[in-house]
């Protein structure tokens, strides 16, 4: 890991934190709010690749852990990791990493713009929707004592918003790839 990688990871950690300034949307009937920060996790994955995206998210999680109010709604501290949203929060790490790995594998700079866009979108959906929901739903079902099926059904309300976020991340990933490519190529 070189200095450039660390600077990029820190930059995307700052972007994730800045997206926490967008007010969260509480649903009232469900303990998990809608936030813009998962968009930052997707952006880190599609633009930086797996390793650097995971470091960016790790920086944010460490800031939360030491008590800085960097999450949506000004939350931070150990209590966040004990609440029902902790699975989604901790799921950011594998989600960012796997979104980045999928982007590195699926996106080929030599293909058409549309194919690149769809590859970025697929990487965002695989990493930051499927993986993130998997982590979040399992933990939520245990922490909120609501059962897996109920947690799964309740979480489906977030899908439309997260699909829009995945499309925004795909557009950003494609734009950065065209102008200033940062995404490393997969060795596979």
Give Cβ neighbours of residue 63 (< 8 Å, ≥ 6 apart): 13, 17, 70, 76
Which DSSP helix (H) or strand (E) runs through 14? helix 3-19
Question: Mind listing the pLDDT tens digit of every residue in the chain (188 residues)?
Answer: 899 999 999 999 999 999 999 988 887 777 778 899 999 999 999 999 999 999 999 999 999 999 999 999 899 999 999 988 899 999 999 999 999 999 999 998 889 999 999 999 999 999 989 999 999 999 999 988 888 999 999 889 899 999 999 999 999 999 999 888 777 766 55
What pTM was estimated for this model as a whole? 0.91
What's the CATH architecture for 3-179? Orthogonal Bundle (1.10)
Specify whether the CB–CB gap between 25 and 38 falls below 8 A.
no
Q: How far, in Å, CA of 108 to CA of 125, rounded?
A: 18
Write down how long the chain is: 188
Q: Where are the domains of the chain?
A: 3-179
DSSP characters over 79-133:
GGGGSTTHHHHHHHHHHHHHHHHHHHHH--TTS-HHHHHHHHHHHHHIIIIIIHH
């Amino acid at each position: 890991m070189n200095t450039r990688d660390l600077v990029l990871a820190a930059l995307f950690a700052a972007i994730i934190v800045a997206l926490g300034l967008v007010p969260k949307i509480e649903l009232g009937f469900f303990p998990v709010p809608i936030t813009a920060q998962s968009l930052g996790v997707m952006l880190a994955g599609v633009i930086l690749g797996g390793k650097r995206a995971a470091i960016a998210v790790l920086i944010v999680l460490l800031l939360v852990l030491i008590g800085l109010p960097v999450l949506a709604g000004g939350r931070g501290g150990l209590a966040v990791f004990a609440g029902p949203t902790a699975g989604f929060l901790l799921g950011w790490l594998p989600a960012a990493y796997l979104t980045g790995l999928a982007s590195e594998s699926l996106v080929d700079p030599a293909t058409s713009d549309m194919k690149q866009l769809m590859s970025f979108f697929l990487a965002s959906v695989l990493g930051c929707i499927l993986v993130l929901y998997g982590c979040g739903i399992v933990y939520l079902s245990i922490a909120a004592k609501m059962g897996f099926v109920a947690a799964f059904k309740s979480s489906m309300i977030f899908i439309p918003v997260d699909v829009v976020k995945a499309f925004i991340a795909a557009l950003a990933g494609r734009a950065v790839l065209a102008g200033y490519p940062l995404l490393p190529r997969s060795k596979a």
